[in-house]
A and B are shown apart, each in its own frame.
Chain A
Amino acid sequence: MIAEGTSGAERRSAPRVIVLALPALTAILLAACGSPSRTPSGSAAPSIPTPLATSVQTSAGTWATVAMGHLNQPLNTFWQLLFRPAGGTSWSNQVQATAAATNGGLVLASARGRGLLVGVRPTNLLTFSPLIFTSDAGRSWSTGLLGEGLVAHPDALAANSASQLLALVSARAGTQVLSSNSGLSWWRTSITTSALAATVSGRSCGLASITAVAYINGTALAGGSCSRPGVLGIFSERAGSWRLLEAAPPSSLEGDRIEVLALQAGGDGVGALLGISDGSAISLVAAWYVDGRWSSSRALPLSASDEVSSFGPTRGNGIFVLLRASSGPAQLAVASGPGAGWQQLAPPPAGTATVAFGPASSVEALAVQDTVLSVWTLTAHSREWVHGQTIKVPIEFGSSE
């Protein structure tokens, strides 16, 4: 009953073909619509990233924090807490004192040189920040707590004493300044970014973000990024009210957009590291506020390939900046104090994560390669770093996953 061949009309029906073609064309158009398209890139990133690797000095010795492990894997990057006692020449790793996973980073603050406050930044499933404080070179630690997570800025913590503290935290309502006058666990919200931006001072600055906190003679300071050119966004608190520091910023910064990267108390004043943008180039300027007046260093220009990998205090009121370029050696620049220019020291060894000043007039570079920390020393007037101590850190990879 099966026959080869066809029967019936074989005329092609054009309308039928069109009807059949419509769904196919629709599918093609849908598919074409699904093709990759360019998406606008975001522009909310800060102009200059603020690395957490740094060192601070206390009377008991020098503390430093650096990231080690597999630095391209956040949960296998572990921040270390290193300590070199005053007068000593070797470093020890004190990170065990945190009793917490340090993948999110550590924030260090010197309590006017008399103690060290360490904040553990939250990471993974932890959303708040434990705090530890020592005033005896790490022999004993007291603990505290921030109910929110510390932000990722090296000056997100400030201590005027063991009981007078400032913290910059990330809350649901945005970045907030918390303050405590009674220890490590009793915090209150001092001001939020939006509230500060809404003040007269905040509006005159065009405050975009708060990036650092510090104390100057017991007065709380908060530094941020201003969108209005020529305005230096450093605010002080008096009787619960926040205002811009009254002194005019250095005249050399007129017309530039200024971002406060670091604030550090020293002597009777405060030092600041500023990121300066004139619209075409970015540079760093160290500035000091002493006796109600600002003075600043010359600008340290940053090329497109330069990356700020660490900054912090030198001995006295100075500020150091460690720059890493995509090619070529790293740069270590030091602005030693008010009115001083940037001095380039010998390029530090490969892998240098931060530097620490001392003992005496020497500088030590803490270089990291995976789980090995190497300490290199540059003595005064020398152009050569000398390898000294090596610390092998037993990192437990996978323990935070």
Chain B
Amino acid sequence: MSGMSTGLEANDQTVVSAFHRALLTQGLVILLILMLVGVVWILLRAFQLSRGVTSQGAAPAASPSPFTFPEPAARRLLRLSFGALWIFDGVLQSQPKMPLGMGPDVIQSTAAASPAWVQHLDNALLTVWNYHPIATATAAVWIQLGIGVWLLAAPRGNWSRLAGLASVLWGLNVWVFGEAFGGIFAPGLTWLFGAPGAAVFYCVAGVLIALRESAWTTPRTGRIVLRGMGVFFVGMAVLQAWPGRGFWQGEPRAGAVSGTLTTMIREMSETPQPHLLSSLVRSFGGFVATHGWEVNLFAVIALAAIGTTFLAARPSLVRAGVIAGCVLCLADWILIEDFGFFGGIGTDPNSMIPMALVFVAGYLAITRVPVLATSEADAHATTQQAPARPWRERLRADPAYAFRALAALAALAITAVGAVPMALAATEPHADRIIAEAVDGTPNAVDLSATPFTLLDQHGQPVSLTALHGRAIALTFLDDVCTSDCPIIAQEFRLADGMLGADARRVELIAVDANPLYIAPDYLAAFDRQEGLEGVPNWLYLTGSLAQLKSVWSSYGATVEYSPGGAMIAHSESADVIDGDGHIRYVLDTDPGPGTGASKSSFAVTLADALESAIHSS
């Protein structure tokens, strides 16, 4: 996936500031929505009180609550803990490095070891993220905060189940695109590093929350969860024991090839984090380096033993397995996963906490089930919800329902505040202007007279600037044997031309040769062939005698100098946008910076905008 990034530093101040501005703006929108919801709640409550509905829902007619038993403990654990985790993840997504760091440092690096088809799939998201870093980064913040709030605020009923479904959908999205399927198709898959990815457990929890609550009234659901986790743990034990995967090896001697686990822990210890943590992880890494075989043996036995207790699904055995599992997960989380969220681009606390929550929920589901009713009538009351009443009536008569519904709507609105701009951005094939702004700053608005000149084009035909009056012009200076920036700038011009659509007929794209030696039209034609510019009808690459060129360079403030030591000709990189009356309206810095697809597209958008403006200003 080479080139699949913006190429900018993750802490680029222009982008970080824009990210913070967008978060603030969207946060204000959310605040307004919350205030609106609050007003609606006050009005609704006033209405309910006027009808004599108490906070317990004791309406004159009948008890409005459809639930005859409290929320099952396992479900409550999952809902509250994963609600909190989504909020925590949302907060992590607001770290300054997210807009530019998420693509290369998380999505791309996670997918790098996976097969080509996984990388290809992830490229889809990567392109959207790199082209629209602000919209996508803010979306990740609000969607995750929204889901978290939703899970916390809607404890029962369909609103709550929908929150579980939202958790599944977003979790799947994160698992496929953000975690490259948790690396299950990549070599080196291991439970110790978090396989099969944290998002899988968010999905599992979401599915369990989305179940009808009656599913929790027998231990069956709990047993399915535990047996599923049991198979998973035993499978991971087999994988951990599989020979030839580098896990039985520490670091036989200094300088020798390190085992997989040793290497991983060392990398983790180098993540920016408090010294205490890095020294702890480093110490454990040293232990693994000298006792790699023993550590792996322990991991294999522990995983197999815990998995076996889960498969048994007997409370006494499971209890021991759950305790051991929690201890193992905690140890792995601290000593190997290094908490998972340090370094400025950690997106979640990794897999150990959510995994432990899932099997603890499984344990609660078999040990703390709602009491089975003794009579048929009680059984019906216990396992079945009360007959559904129209939602309008429940809204009027049930304060708890009204609060849940409004809270869920508010959470949905928070999610939408992030999701809608991201969805709109995803349909936009061109990159945001912010990338070009980060590289080159904003275009300089000026009003200067463009100095007339006459030069030869790439076909040897004379071209006069005066003869082009009435058309908007983008004028730049390109070295025809340049090996880096000039071909990229030419591509940006071509992209901008495509973005102009029908308006391109009112525009001329002009480059003046910026090499004092290779000034024959042959070189310009070779450059055009190289860049595929031969078919662009409004592209003119101009040259002339050295004296003529020097005069044009001077008129437009372009510097062109020989460089020592085998470097290419040094020349200034800018473009003048000239309107139809021959006035320079904008001066753009054309330094292509990293020259990625995103930065090229972003510059082209900026140039096309300036040209559109010049077209309509004359």
Which residues of A are interface residues toward B (Cβ below 8 A)? 1-8, 10, 12, 16-17, 20-21, 23-25, 27-28, 30-32, 34-36, 68-69, 78-80, 93, 95-104, 120, 122-128, 130, 132, 141, 143, 145, 147, 185, 371, 393-396, 399-401
Q: Which of B140-195 contact A (CB under 8 A)?
A: 184-189, 195
For A98, the closest partner residue in chain B by CB is B566
Q: What are the residues of chain A within 8 A of B231 when measuring CB–CB?
A: 17, 20-21, 23-24
In angstroms, Cα B481 to Cα A3, docked, is: 81
CB-CB under 8 A for A101 and B567, given A16-B227, A401-B484? yes
- A32-B242 CB under 8 A given contacts A7-B369, A17-B227: yes
CA distance A31 to B242 in the complex (A): 11
**Which residue of chain B is the closest to A120 with respect to CB atoms?**
B481
Chain A nearest CB from B534 CB (Å) reads 13
Question: Is there contact, CB below 8 Å, between A28 and B368?
Answer: no
B566 touches A24 (CB 8 A): no
Do residues B234 and A24 form an inter-chain contact, with CB atoms below 8 A?
A: yes
- What is the minimal beta-carbon distance from B563 to any residue of chain A, in angstroms? 6
Q: Nearest CB to that of B233 among chain A residues?
A: A24
**Contact A125 to B488, CB < 8 A, known contacts A6-B366, A103-B483, A399-B568:** yes
B501 within 8 A of A: no
> Does the CB pair A31–B369 fall under 8 Å?
no
Q: Is B311 part of the contact surface with A, judged by Cβ < 8 Å? A: yes
Whether the Cβ atoms of B313 and A10 lie closer than 8 Å is: yes
Contact with A along B229-270 (1 / 0, CB 8 A): 011101100110010110000000000000000000000000
Q: For the complex formed, measure the closest distance between the CB of B504 and the CB atoms of chain A, giving whole angstroms.
A: 24
Interface residues of B in 377-401 (CB under 8 A from A): 382
A34/B219 in contact, CB under 8 A:
no
Q: Determine whether the beta carbon of B368 is less than 8 Å from that of A101.
A: no
Please tell me if B293 contacts chain A, counting CB pairs below 8 Å. no
Q: Which 10 A-B pairs have the closest CB atoms?
A: A78-B566, A102-B566, A99-B517, A24-B235, A101-B568, A395-B565, A124-B483, A31-B189, A3-B371, A125-B487
Asked if A6 and B219 make an inter-chain contact with CB atoms under 8 angstroms apart, the answer reads: yes
Q: Nearest chain B CB to A387's CB is how many angstroms away?
A: 22
Residues of B within 8 A of A16 (CB): 227
Q: Select which of A95, A99, A104, A147 is within 8 A of B516 by beta carbon.
A: A99
B399 to A: closest C-beta gap in Å: 22
A1-B70 contact given A8-B219, A35-B245, CB 8 Å threshold: yes
Complex formed: what's the CA distance from A178 to B353 in Å?
67
- For A128, what are the chain B residues with a Cβ–Cβ distance below 8 Å? 526, 530
Q: Is the pair B368, A400 in contact by a Cβ cutoff of 8 Å? A: no
Select B565's contact among A12, A31, A185, A396, beta carbons within 8 Å. A396
Q: Which residues of B contact A3 (CB under 8 A)?
A: 368-371
A-B residue pairs in contact (CB < 8 Å), sample of 28: A2-B370, A3-B371, A5-B367, A7-B369, A12-B311, A17-B227, A20-B231, A31-B185, A34-B186, A35-B187, A35-B242, A78-B565, A99-B569, A100-B518, A100-B569, A101-B483, A101-B567, A101-B568, A104-B483, A124-B483, A125-B487, A127-B530, A128-B530, A130-B518, A395-B565, A395-B566, A396-B564, A400-B567
Residue-wise, chain B 294-326 has the 8 Å CB interface mask toward A (1 for contact) of 000000000000000001111100000000000
Q: B58 an interface residue at 8 Å Cβ cutoff?
A: no
> CA–CA, A386 to B590, complex, Å?
50
Of B184, B220, B314, which contacts A30 at CB under 8 A?
Answer: B184
User: Are the C-beta atoms of B522 and A96 separated by less than 8 Å?
Assistant: no
**B562 within 8 A of partner (CB):** yes
**Residues of A contacting B568 in the complex (Cβ-Cβ under 8 angstroms):** 99-101, 399-400
Bound CA–CA A36/B371 (angstroms): 52
Min Cβ gap A396→B in Å is 4
Q: Hey, which chain A residues are within 8 Å of B487, CB to CB?
A: 125-126
B526 near A32: Cβ-Cβ < 8 Å:
no
- Complex contact A96–B562 (CB within 8 A): yes
Q: Which residue of B lies closest to A79 (CB)?
A: B566
Asked if B553 CB lies within 8 Å of chain A CBs, one says no
Cβ A32 vs Cβ B239 within 8 A = yes
Q: Which residues of B contact A1 (CB under 8 A)?
A: 69-70, 370-371, 382
Q: A3-B370, A145-B522, A400-B484 are in contact. Are A27 and B569 (CB under 8 A)?
A: no
Q: Which residues of A contact B218 (CB under 8 A)?
A: 7-8
Contact, CB under 8 Å: A185 / B520: yes
In the assembled complex, B36 has its CB within 8 A of some CB on chain A: no
Take A10-B313, A147-B529 as given contacts and tell me if A126 and B523 are in contact as well, using a CB distance cutoff of 8 Å.
no
- Interface residues in B511-528 (C-beta closer than 8 Å to A): 515-518, 520, 522-523, 526
Smallest distance from the beta carbon of B606 to chain A beta carbons, Å? 21
Q: Is the CB of B235 within 8 A of A99?
A: no
Assembled-state Cα–Cα distance A78/B187 (Å): 39
Q: Which residues of B contact A79 (CB under 8 A)?
A: 566
In the assembled complex, which residues on chain B have CB atoms less than 8 Å from the CB atom of A395? 564-567
The interface residues of chain B lying within 8 Å CB-to-CB of A7 are 218-219, 369, 372
Give the complex CA separation of A21 and B308 in angstroms: 12
Q: Is there an interface contact between A145 and B238, defined as CB atoms closer than 8 Å? A: no
Q: Which residue of B lies closest to A23 (CB)?
A: B231
Compute how far the CA of A103 lies from the CA of B227 in the bound complex, rounded to whole angstroms: 61
- Of chain B, the residue at the smallest CB distance from A123 is B483
Closest B residue to A398 using CB positions: B567
A23 to B230, CA, bound (A): 13
- With A34-B186, A99-B562, A147-B526 known, 8 other A-B pairs at CB within 8 A are A5-B367, A6-B369, A8-B218, A34-B185, A102-B566, A145-B523, A395-B564, A400-B483
Task: Tell me if B518 and A99 are in contact (CB < 8 A).
Answer: yes
Asked if residues B566 and A2 are in contact (CB atoms below 8 Å), the reply is: no
Q: Is the CB of A31 within 8 A of B483?
A: no
Among A97, A124, A145, chain B packs the most CB atoms within 10 A around the CB of A145
Are A399 and B69 closer than 8 Å at their CB atoms? no
Contact of B227 with A393 in the complex, beta carbons under 8 Å: no
- Give the residue of A34, A93, A130, A371 whose beta carbon is less than 8 angstroms from that of B523: A130
Known: A100-B568, A145-B522, A400-B483. A2 touches B227 (CB 8 A): no
CA distance A16 to B481 in the complex (A): 69
B115 surroundings in chain A (CB, below 8 A)? 34
Q: Is the CB of B565 within 8 A of A2?
A: no
Contact partners of B311 in chain A: CB under 8 A: 12, 17
Q: Which residue, of B187, B232, B567, has the highest number of chain A Cβ atoms within 10 A?
A: B567
Q: Which residue of B lies closest to A141 (CB)?
A: B517
Q: How far is the CA of A97 from the CA of B238 in the complex (A)?
A: 66
Q: Which one of A12, A30, A104, A126 lies within 8 Å of B185 (CB-CB)?
A: A30
Q: Which residues of A contact B228 (CB under 8 A)?
A: 20
A2 cross-chain contacts in B, Cβ below 8 A? 70, 72-73, 368-371
Distance of A37 from chain B, by nearest CB (Å): 9
User: Is B482 among interface residues, defined by CB-CB distance under 8 A?
Assistant: yes
Are A394 and B564 touching (Cβ within 8 A)? yes
Closest Cβ of chain A to B152, distance in Å, is: 21
A3 to B73, CA, bound (A): 10
Q: Mark B526-554, 1 if CB is under 8 A from A, else 0.
A: 10011000000000000000000000000
Complex Cα distance, B232 from A394, in Å, reads: 61
**Cα A79 to Cα B567 with chains together (Å):** 9
Residues of B within 8 A of A100 (CB): 481, 483, 515, 518, 568-569
Q: Which residues of the other chain, A, contact B238 by a CB distance below 8 angstroms?
A: 28
Q: Does B443 contact A (CB under 8 A)?
A: no
A4 vs B371: C-alpha distance when bound (angstroms): 9
Contact (Cβ within 8 A) B239 A28: yes
B196 at the interface (CB under 8 A from A): yes
Determine the residue in chain A with the shortest Cβ distance to B563.
Answer: A396
Check A6 against B367 for contact (C-beta < 8 Å).
yes
Q: Give the complex CA separation of A325 and B530 in angstroms.
A: 40
CB pair B234–A399 under 8 Å, yes or no, is no
8 A Cβ contacts from B103-133 to A? 115
Assess whether A99 is in contact with B314, with CB atoms less than 8 Å apart: no
Among candidates A5, A10, A399, residue contacting B567 with C-beta atoms closer than 8 Å = A399
Interface residue from A27, A125, A400 paired with B196 (Cβ < 8 Å): A27
- Residues 329 to 371 of chain B near chain A (Cβ within 8 Å): 366-371
CB distance from B503 to the nearest CB of A (A): 29
Q: Known contacts A80-B566, A130-B481, A396-B563: does B368 contact A4 (CB below 8 Å)? A: yes
